[in-house]
Structure 1
Amino acid sequence: MDRFAEYLELMMPYLLCINLSGMTDKEIVDHKTLENKILPIGSGKYEAQMIRLVLESGYGGLIGLIDHMPSADSETRLRENLAGLNEILSR
């Protein structure tokens, strides 16, 4: 996360799409069950800052919301992600 802005600038000419998800510290992820690896947008630690950096960068491409949680209903997860994204954007 410390170098995301730097890497984003380097990637900008090549980006076709950016996919968003909630992000937390790797120490919180249970690597056996993968619990907490993928979180709804707005419930993680880093995505708000990353989304702000993307907006400030002038990125004009597509932004996707993806559901990597087979245990969760995709419509429910999409609604959670949209609510979290709206919360971040309203700050």
Structure 2
Amino acid sequence: MERRFVDATGVPPGRWIAHQRIRAAAVLLESADHPIDAVAGRVGLTVAGFRHHFRETMGSAPRHIGASSGADRRGRVLPPVRPAG
């Protein structure tokens, strides 16, 4: 099954899932100044895992993405994440 998945998507299932989570997180970070730890939890990652996968996928730290890039990211309520696709 993994071989078929890689043939269809070009990446292993775990990497594909991580990329989908980071894509959803990027939408949240771009739409408002949500706290990074809340975004990480919303997409199902620990903060450390989120930072690792974000940098690997996006090529920059999550703090460089956002509605005001560098603004205070505390205390905002997160909207629901829409499925990618």
In terms of fraction of residues, the more helix-rich structure is 2
In terms of fraction of residues, the more strand-rich structure is 1
Fold similarity call, TM over 0.5: no
If the length of structure 2 is used for normalisation, what is the TM-score? 0.29
